[in-house]
Amino acid sequence: MTVANEKPKILMVSAAFQGHINPMLKVANRLISNGFHVTFAITENCRDNILKNIPNSNSSSGLVLDFFSDGLSLDFDRSDVKTLIETLQEKGPINLSNLIKNHTKNQNFSCAIVTPFVPWAIDTVAQHEIPCAMLWIQASALYSIYYHYFKNNDIFPSLEDPNETVQLPGLPILEVRDLPTFILPSYPLHFKEVVENSFKDLEKVKWILGASFFEIEKEIVESMDSLTPIYPIGPLVSPFLLGEKDTNDLSLDMWNAEDSCIDWLDNRPNSSVIYISFGSIIVFSEKQMENIIIALKNSNKDFLWVFKPANNGGSEKEDSTLELLNEFKKESEGKGIVVKWCPQEKVLMHPAVACFISHCGWNSTLETVVAGVPVIGWPTWTDQPTNATLIENVFKNGVKVSYGEDGVASAEEIERCIWEVMDGPNASEIKQRAVEIKESARNALKEGGSSSNNFNKFIGDLLAKN
Ligand code: UDX
């Protein structure tokens, strides 16, 4: 029941991963500025970290944060992803349901927005008679690949054979190694099952919103129109990245960003620094570290490196790389700095940054697109191999490193890629392309732009229903 004159209430549901929270929060911001009331429900394992890093300005933001248990004790080692997924699948519905009951004593939610990585939430909100939207937090290309894979598997060859290829509308011919790792036979089944579950329940989802934007994936988005359409409303990045200086943007960071790196960048020449980050989940292996170090030494470029120790939410228990890093830090004093977490959007917008060695998480990819910074893509898992392929072959704003079966690129290959985007004969073309897509990203969000129209249509639907 909705009480007259009350703001329509929206529920958002996500697991506590930085790469999932960030795009959801961008949507929350936009909903709040359109007069909605947003309750953001996140699994509670990162509650303390998140609350610790909330700036004071967030308190009056209009966003209500709430947390629900994933069913595991807070000190459980969540790098055991199989147990995490299975327990969340079992306990999540009960715990989210209780949270919903607490928030709907006077007024029900007008809509729930979930990520594809909490697929069980689709059913839970349906039981509470809340219409459901899914925010597809990855590229629309991934939506298309998964859709075809789960609903029309016949067009996929045997993925056991690494030499097989797949052809889908709007995408270059994809080799098996360009596909999302979750569908590969070599990958543990529980990852595939999570995504598969969200496709099983897709007919219960009323709106599929995309974090991407139409212009960058035009044909892919259009090819879904006759199946189950996706409506991109992105790029979901902060207003700061779009050039707005003073914003009341909300942020929920799991780690404290080291702002001192911006002072360091201030003292570097324009387009001179390589920014390196592999996002919030991946932890560098020793071999990866060694090869990046050699490549940086040989390239003789300045660098800003985000190095997240394993015990900082990463997936490796032993941090064998720290010693290596400490040694390199001493050797390279003056050439570069290493931080545990940085204000990435500010870094990408800094004129000193020349390129981004990235794992190609979708948030990082969109942020670098909007900042107009060329990419050296070194993907590791999930959607990242496809994103790196998009970067090199579709967006053409960067290059993808070649790597072996073990996922490790050689030092020479990393060095080649640095040369390619910074000094080689194609460097200026890559930079120009990065600037072009930056413009189209901004246009998509302007009044009358494709993403703005899709978002307004969604809001219109919500208000009409109310
Ligand atoms: C995860 C998956 O790994 C990724 O493949 C998927 O597309 C989204 O979910 P993650 O690995 O964390 O995400 O990468 P990414 O999507 O790039 O998100 C990382 C976020 O953390 C970005 O918004 C980035 O700005 C932020 N970040 C990263 C910081 O604020 N500071 C840092 O130092 C590093």
Of 359, 364, 387, 389, best ligand 1 pocket probe by most atoms within 8 Å of the beta carbon? 364
pTM score of the predicted model: 0.94
Burial class (CB in 10 A: 0-12, 13-18, 19+), 408: middle
Contacts for 51-57: CB closer than 8 Å, 24+ residues apart: 52/256, 53/251, 53/252, 53/253, 53/254, 53/255, 53/256, 54/251, 54/252, 55/251, 57/248
Helix (H, G, I), strand (E, B) or coil at 392: helix
pLDDT in tens, 377-422: 999 999 999 999 999 999 999 999 999 888 899 999 999 999 999 9
Q: Does the beta carbon of 252 sit less than 6 angstroms from any atom of ligand 1?
A: no
CA distances from 457 to 14, 28, 96, 374, 407 (A): 23, 16, 28, 33, 42
pLDDT band at 252 (very low <50, low <70, confident <90, very high): confident
pLDDT given at position 314: 43
Q: Tokens for 374?
A: 């060329």
What average pLDDT does the segment 212-240 reach?
Answer: 96
pLDDT in tens, 2-59: 444 578 999 999 999 999 999 999 999 999 999 999 999 999 988 888 888 776 544 4
Gap between the Cα atoms of 178 and 176, Å rounded: 5
Nearest-CA residue for ligand 1 atom 2 is: 361
Nearest-CA residue for ligand 1 atom 11 is: 279
Other C-beta atoms closer than 10 Å to the C-beta of 128 total: 15
Q: Does the beta carbon of 212 sit less than 6 angstroms from any atom of ligand 1?
A: no
pLDDT given at position 312: 46
pLDDT in tens, 156-208: 988 999 899 999 999 999 999 999 999 999 999 999 999 999 999 999 999 99
pLDDT given at position 73: 94
pLDDT given at position 225: 97
pLDDT in tens, 280-336: 888 888 898 999 999 999 999 999 999 987 654 444 444 678 888 889 999 999 999
Q: Domains of the chain by range and CATH? A: 9-250+446-465 (3.40.50.2000), 260-441 (3.40.50.2000)
Of residues 113, 8, 6, the one with CA closest to residue 464: 8
CA of 279 to the centre of ligand 1 (A): 4
Gap between the Cα atoms of 332 and 303, Å rounded: 10
